[in-house]
Every structure is written in C-alpha cells, then in structure tokens.
Structure 1
Amino acid sequence: MTLEADVSDLWNRYQEGLTAADATDEDAAVIDEFLAALEAGEVRAAEKTGDDVTSWEANEWVKRGILLNFGLRETEAREYGGVTYHDVLPLRDTDDLGERGTRNTPDGTAIRRGAYLGSDCIMMSPSFVNMGAYVGDGTLVDSCDTVGSCAQLGENVKLGANTLIGGVLEPVEDAPVIIEDGVSLGAGCRVTSGFRVGENSIVGENTLLTPRIPVYDLVEEDVIYGHLPAERRAFTRMVESSVGDHDLFEGGAYKPAVVATHVEEETLEATRREDALRE
C-alpha cells in the first residue's frame, strides 16, 4: 500500500473510534513515516494545480495525517531550552539543516515535527514553524515570526519581523495560507484564514491580509477577496464604512482595506539590495 492509502485506512479507523490507547505499533509506524515524508518535503498540505494564485488546492489526506498525529498520540512532558513543556510531539530534529545551508539561530527558534525547511533558509530567533508547514528554499523567517500549521511558503520569500502566517488545519478541504515565490512581507504583517499572496508581490508593513478584507486592485480595476494577484505592491488604507452615516460616528466611520498597485522599480531595487547583503 502507498502512504496515502495507509493514512486513509488509519483515518477511517480513527473515525470509527480508534484511540491513542488502542493504536498498535503498526499504526504508530504509519504516522511516523508520514511525519518523515512531511519533513522531507515529499508530501505537502496543498499543491498548485494551475497558473494562477487562486488554483491552490488542499491535499485532504495530508491534513488528515496531521490530525492523526494529534489524535493517536499521548501528551508527554518534554524538554526544550531547559524548560519543560507538554505536547504530543517533540520538536523537529534539525541535524539535516546544516548540510543544506539552512540556519536556525539559537535561543528561541522552534520547528515542530512535520515541518519542512528547504535549502539556504534562515530562521531568526525567536520564531516558530508549525507542523505541516512548508518553507521553500532561500526563505527568511525573521524574529518574532510564526508560520502556522500547513502554511505553504515558496522560494525566496521574506517575512519581516513580527509577521504572522496563520494556520488552516481544519476543515481539511480548505487550502491553507499560501505565500508564493519571491514575496516580501513587511514587518508586522498578518496573513490569515487561507489568504493567498501571488508571486513577487511586496506587502507594506502592518498590513492585514484576510478573506474578509477587500483588496482594491488598481491594476485590473477590480475588488477581490481572499487573494492578492502576482506582481503587486500592497498596503493598507481606510475606506468609508456602510455605517458612516450613523449618528454615533461624527465625521464618518471607516474600515480597513488593502490597495494593490504595480510593483515599482525602486521597490524592486530595494529588495535586490537586501538579496545582495544576504549573499
């Protein structure tokens, strides 16, 4: 049987009432093999099926495999940095990172089991990458960043300090947050609820990207939800709210929106200089 078939069979038994106490050594071997495949980048929680940023689809069986690792393991006391914590899984072994040129600085970089980091990545402390996340080659995870469960980050992505990439584990049919190749997110950005950022886009600091906030795309002259097209420069602006004429809001009420324009040449040049410094 394939790994997918083994996980699917185990999931069916879990849905029928299988518990951690009932799981056999063979069951444990399946979820261990699954974790190893995630960490090797052999399986992913979502895959791109077309050319557009909207074409990402969840691999439901992979997300079920992640859920099995929570449902069929017991919580245990573990040690990290001299502190005892309790979890169903230990942190990921990082012995393979150095041989691929990937760096995780000391005093606070935590990578949970089942996370993939590519070659020539940088994780600054403190930062955290959760189970099922995929971090592509050459990507920078800066200080105080979180990469949530199942989030998919492409190659040469730059996460500014204090950036949150949300996790989407359930429902299993929903695609997670997607950050495509070459994206740069400014400090303090938040990307949540399965939002998708198209390749080579540059997002200004403290911008919130979520499907509930409209994106005013001035390139195509359209208002879109849930994604930012490729090759955009995006930033937050306030637009008039529908409750603006209420007596309580003297002078009008406003709500956040995202404005997207062409990536300007000087902005690209700044990112090229940053690339040169890293090299």
Structure 2
Amino acid sequence: MHSPTAPAVFTSPIDPGVDALWERRTELTPADGTARDLVVEAVDMLDAGHARVAFVDGATGQVVVDERARRAILLCFRLLEMRQTSAGVFHYHDRLPLKREFPGVRVVPGAVARWGSHHAPGTVLMPSYTNIGAFVDSGTMVDTWATVGSCAQIGKNVHLAGGVGVGGVLEPANAAPVVIEDDAFVGSRSVVVEGARVRRGAKLGAGVLLTASTRVFDAMTGEELPPGEAPEWSVCVGSTRRKSFPGGEFGVPCLLVIKRLPEGGRHDKLLLESLFREHGFAL
C-alpha cells in the first residue's frame, strides 16, 4: 500500500497563464490568438516530454497530477479550429493534428499517435493508438490494436499486449489517470480504466478488467488488498466473486493475485505463460 505521506509541493513547468485562461474558458474562441499560442506551447511541452499530466512521486509512491497540463489539453478544443489533415491516403478532420516527431521510436505502419502524447526513445508502436496527454516511457511496446487513452501514464519496459485498452481521462477535473508502472505486463485484451493502477513489475493475464473500484484478493491468503491496484511484483488474473442482489446472486469481476514475484525479478514470456497456464489462464 502506498505511503500516506503527502507528496512534495509540485510546481508545473507549464505557464501559469493557462490557469487564467481556464477561468474564462467559456469566453474563448479560435480567434483568441494569444490564448491559442499559450495553449499550443503547453501541449508542445507534453509532446516533447518536458511536461506530463501525471507521475509517481518517488518519495511517497503517490500519483501526482498536473491539472494545469490537463487544462491546457481541454482548452485546445475551444481554441483550435477544425482542420483537414492527411497521412498518406488517409484524411482527417479534427482540431488536433497527429504527432509528427518520434525521435528514437520505432513506429510500425498503422500506428497512430496524437500531438501532445509523448513516446520516449526506445519505445515500439505496433499498429496501435495513443491519445493526447499520454506518456509512454522507454523500452515499452504498445502492441497491435492496443490503445493508450488520454493522459494515461505508461512506465519503462512495459508490454501492453495485443488489444489492451488503457482508459483515458480528461474530465472530470478531479479524476486520476491510469498509471502502469515500470516493468509491468498487461495481457492480451485486458482493460485498465478509471484511474486504476498497475504497480511496478505486476503481470496481468489475458482479459483482466481493472477499474478504480475493482476488488483485489490474494489467492494464497484470502486477504483483501487495496482496490483498483495490481500489487508490485505480482501475477494477477481476472476472477469473479459472488454478490447478492435483489434478483439473486451473481458473479462480479475482481482481480486475483495468484503469485508474488521477487522484487526486480525478470520473467521471460515463456516462463510467464507457463505460470498462467498452470492456474488455467493465458497471456
């Protein structure tokens, strides 16, 4: 469980003028050139990785959200005009352009990323989608048909397997983004949404559904763990628990921790697949 200690005071690297624009956002239009330039500068910082919507505080383990960054993204939809853009034979009509700079990143044909998302050198994008405000750190693979939602934070050396859906968050203002920490593995067709958190080194089997309110249990002890979080250096699978309703008893999704891994331990895909299959699951 993360420390209850409050994180150190955080100062956003983004111009505080964005906050002033936010207070009068209902008045803004694409004709406000000065406001538009300020917001574009802020989103350019996100695109380059000089700012990010959220990060894990190293001292406390808590997720710190830069609300100014999120406000800048939302202001784009008031200040940017609809424009026709293209990528090869594909044509688009949107307020936000596609990302164009990928230094040190392998981008396979079919991969799409929006301006304002950041991919650190060493990441690999198979045919996939990354939305504005997302941060994908080095050594991570976003596999085929995986989606990284708005403002989601993906750590180093993560594998998002085929068809994984990482949820986005722009509104409401107090909603936390999804955070998937370093060295995690998220199995095929899994869905991680609503500010859920996959902590460092956690491995999720195929088809896991993890939301902020998903209950989490240790299969070896029966202990209930903090909701909405895959624990550090654990192997987890989707399961169900019985819950009574007026109409009867039904199975409700939960997350089951089936094994604890040594901290810093590395497991290649074959060994990980063997572990899941031992318990009747798969990657």
1:69 deviates by 1.0
Q: Secondary structure at the match of 2:30?
A: coil
Q: Unaligned stretches of 5+ in structure 1?
A: 275-279
1:146-205 residue CA offsets vs partner (Å, 9 max, x unmatched): 100000001001000000000011122222000000000011110001101100000001
Q: Is the alpha carbon distance of 1:32 and 1:226 closer, same or farther for their aligned partners in structure 2, counting shifts above 3 Å?
A: same
Q: Which residue of 1 aligns with 2:121?
A: 119
Q: Secondary structure at the match of 1:29?
A: helix
TM-score by length of 2: 0.83
Q: Which residue of 2 aligns with 1:154?
A: 155
CA RMSD of aligned residues (A): 2.3
Instruction: Find the aligned partners of 1:139 and 1:263 in 2 and give their Cα distance.
Output: 22
Q: 1:239 aligns with which of 224, 241, 248?
A: 241
Number of residues paired by the alignment?
Answer: 257
- Judge conservation of contact 1:116–1:132 (CA < 8 Å) in 2: yes
Q: Which residue of 1 aligns with 2:250?
A: 253
Q: Is the alpha carbon distance of 1:4 and 1:237 closer, same or farther for their aligned partners in structure 2, counting shifts above 3 Å?
A: same
Q: Secondary structure at the match of 1:113?
A: coil
Q: Secondary structure at the match of 2:267?
A: helix
Q: Which residue of 1 aligns with 2:145?
A: 144
- Judge conservation of contact 1:59–1:173 (CA < 8 Å) in 2: no
Instruction: Find the aligned partners of 1:216 and 1:268 in 2 and give their Cα distance.
Output: 23
- Judge conservation of contact 1:50–1:56 (CA < 8 Å) in 2: no
1:243-272 residue CA offsets vs partner (Å, 9 max, x unmatched): 3x85xx6xx53222110133357x943249
1:273 deviates by 7.9
Q: Which residue of 2 aligns with 1:277?
A: none
Q: Is residue 206 of structure 1 aligned with residue 214 of structure 2?
A: no
| Matched-pair identity in % | 32
Q: Which residue of 1 aligns with 2:186?
A: 185
Q: Which has the higher contact order (CA 8 A, sep 6+)?
A: 1
Q: Is residue 18 of structure 1 aligned with residue 62 of structure 2?
A: no
1:227 deviates by 1.7
Q: Is the alpha carbon distance of 1:119 and 1:29 closer, same or farther for their aligned partners in structure 2, counting shifts above 3 Å?
A: same
1:40-97 residue CA offsets vs partner (Å, 9 max, x unmatched): 11111112235565x1022111100100111111112221231222110110113x42
Q: Secondary structure at the match of 1:200?
A: coil
Higher helix share: 1
Instruction: Find the aligned partners of 2:174 and 2:67 in 1 and give their Cα distance.
Output: 6
